[in-house]
Chains A and B, each alone.
Chain A
């Protein structure tokens, strides 16, 4: 099973690489939480896209809020 997670790791690494050269404002931890969260949802057959989108919105809203506060 550990091998199969590689695709998730590669997806996350790819995103973080783009994030780095884009100098994006979304923190690495947020991307990690998004990728891992969505991955787990898909693999655990947890609800549909609504739940995935709720997770993303929640995490990205936090980033937006904190960037304003900061």
Chain B
């Protein structure tokens, strides 16, 4: 990474827009920037840090610093101020421009306020990175964790120096922290994280696959069960089809037989009808005879009806002769017989019930009265007898009606007997005709009916089974479809999980080895730098122990007990230089007034060393630490660019311009 230029707008003491060219050739990597105190060297360094990471810390390295405090005081006093820092840098032959900007103002309480800071990163060809990816891209180029080691100022050197002077335990912790921070293992840790993520993914795939396998086994079981049921149903269907076929053949045969003997069947039917008619006629004759018998019993007198008519006529004629008196006597005589008859039978002649005592006494009294009346009448043929006879015979009148009815009944019986005879004759004739046919048509018809019923039942059953088969086939199709959608495990998937797991374990375990090697590398680097920077020939190098204790070594390998303040600062610089050099990226080194506390000898060593350190060193110096003649001569042709920050119109305004060479 090389910084090509930085543009500042209303930042720190740089009012308006200032463009600072920084690009250098690798053969002359040093950008020398002169500036006295308060001119804006640190503001420039902070502009770089804020532009890269969007945040700032105070020189203690821990306390956040609000970037709005860097907005130009003169400008913001005049109202809303647009501020901006833009870094143009080159990375892998591509030129990128990172810009952060905002609008600042002072509110009614005198506090500085800003709009949302806008950040853009674009390439020279116009490709603009999504804002959410910018920090990741910047981190890849210049890791924020190790920014202190390539963007450091004199204050940081002092801070390091002070910490390295602290008690041993605190020093170890500080060194370890810085080494870890510098080496941060970002690359290896990211590699492990990525491996862990792909391992996690493939493990989840395997878990899902295992679940899919379980589900597949269940589905296969279900399919097998459906297949077994289908097989049973297929057998049933085949059996039913065979049975249906047999029944159809049987029905066909029976139909043929019954069709051939249709006439015979008709004769049978006709005979059955005649037999039924014959039976009905038989019943009718019996009924007519019973009616006739009853009629004859009720009209028993009918055969002597003419004799009765003669006697009646004779009695009526004699009664007429006897005249009225005789008639009266006859009536009395008749009543007397009736009274006596009742007395004898002790029952009522009208209702037939037994007579009570008072009724019998009444009858006796009546008998006496009747005898007295009769005794008073002249003696002749008993008119009572005549009258009784007339009364008895009168009810036999109407013999002609009885005769007519009797004749009708006789005729009906005669007709029915004739019909019966006719039917009997026909039945006899048909029976004789059918006696030669041995076929039991009725049985065949019964058999046909049964066969048809059975065929209907078999057809219905077959349709039901076919329907079940259809449903089962649909279910099977669904199960097979579900099975096809499942992505189960495979030996390859299981092996992938193993291999990925091995990769994660290997990479994780390599972290400690990596740390150890990098610690050794920092130690070697720091020793090399320290030897180059120190003016003490006796100091052979630096040892960074496993517990991260730091020691300066004599040439015989023994630790130096006590070193000077200047020596300690050189040690600090060597350590920082080693950390920066051991970081994953080659970054520009920006050093803000690092030479102030060093003697001439160490300063000379450091200035010579700077040109070898990296491909771009931006060195801020002030007149108290840098001799324009001697020190510039030490840097010699390594100076690629030289700039001067000078006072502008006020104490809070600075101008930066390139020094003509």
Contacts and interface: CB of A to CB of B under 8 A. Distances in A.
A45 B89 CA distance: 14
Contacts of B92: 43-45
Interface in A27-70: 31, 34-35, 38-39, 42-45, 48-49, 52-53, 56-57, 60-61, 63-65, 67-68
In this complex, the member of B511, B513, B521 whose beta carbon has the largest number of chain A beta carbons within 10 angstroms is B513
B500 interface: yes
A64 B509 contact: no
Contacts of A67: 495, 499
B527 interface: no
Nearest to A69: B492
What DSSP secondary structure best describes chain A's contact surface? helix
Contacts of A43: 92, 140, 585
A60 B510 contact: no
A18 B198 contact: no
Nearest to B93: A44
Interface in B112-166: 133, 136-137, 140-141
B171 interface: no
B191 A35 contact: yes
B120 to A, nearest CB: 16
A19 B506 CA distance: 6
Contacts of A19: 506
B423 interface: no
Given A11-B191, A42-B190, A52-B194, A63 B499 contact: yes
Nearest to B193: A49
Contact of A22 (B133, B509, B518, B586): B509
A50 B69 CA distance: 39
B496 A61 contact: yes
Of B140, B496, B506, B586, the most chain A CB neighbours within 10 A belong to B506
A13 B325 CA distance: 177
B286 interface: no
B503 A60 contact: yes
A68 B511 CA distance: 29
B422 interface: no
A26 B506 contact: yes
B480 to A, nearest CB: 28
A17 B499 contact: no
A70 B505 CA distance: 23
Contacts of B500: 60
B514 A14 contact: yes
A49 B201 CA distance: 14
A46 to B, nearest CB: 10
A56 B198 contact: yes
B578 to A, nearest CB: 12
B581 interface: yes
A18 B510 contact: yes
A53 B586 contact: no
Nearest to A12: B510
Interface residues of A, number: 40
Contacts of B444: none
Contact of B140 (A34, A42, A61, A65): A42
A53 B141 contact: no
A25 B510 contact: no
Contact of A10 (B194, B492, B498, B518): B518
B599 interface: no
B305 interface: no
B220 interface: no
B191 A25 contact: no
B521 A10 contact: yes
A10 B514 contact: yes
Interface in B435-483: none
B502 interface: yes
A37 B188 CA distance: 13
A18 B513 contact: yes
A45 B140 contact: yes
Contact of A68 (B183, B188, B492): B492
Interface string B338-368: 0000000000000000000000000000000
Contacts of B502: 22, 24-26
Interface string B573-588: 0000000011111100
A43 B94 CA distance: 12
B492 A65 contact: yes
Given A24-B502, A68-B491, A42 B187 contact: yes
Nearest to B517: A10
Contacts of B521: 6, 10
Nearest to B139: A42
Given A19-B506, A68-B491, A60 B499 contact: yes
B385 interface: no
B581 A3 contact: yes
Interface string B393-411: 0000000000000000000
B191 A68 contact: no
B143 to A, nearest CB: 10
B584 A64 contact: no
Contacts of B190: 38, 42, 49, 52
Contacts of A3: 581, 586
A4 B506 contact: no
B294 to A, nearest CB: 116
A56 B503 contact: yes
Nearest to A16: B510
B505 to A, nearest CB: 7
Contacts of B509: 18, 22
Given A4-B585, A10-B514, A45-B91, A38 B194 contact: yes
B134 to A, nearest CB: 11
Contacts of B336: none
A18 B21 CA distance: 47
Nearest to A8: B187
A4 B581 CA distance: 7
Given A45-B94, A49-B190, A68-B491, 19 more contacts: A6-B521, A7-B518, A7-B583, A11-B510, A11-B514, A15-B506, A18-B506, A18-B510, A26-B499, A34-B503, A38-B187, A43-B140, A48-B133, A60-B500, A61-B496, A64-B496, A65-B492, A65-B495, A68-B492
Interface of A: 1, 3-4, 6-8, 10-11, 13-15, 17-19, 22, 24-26, 31, 34-35, 38-39, 42-45, 48-49, 52-53, 56-57, 60-61, 63-65, 67-68
Q: Which 5 A-B pairs have the closest CB atoms?
A: A14-B513, A14-B510, A14-B514, A64-B495, A15-B510
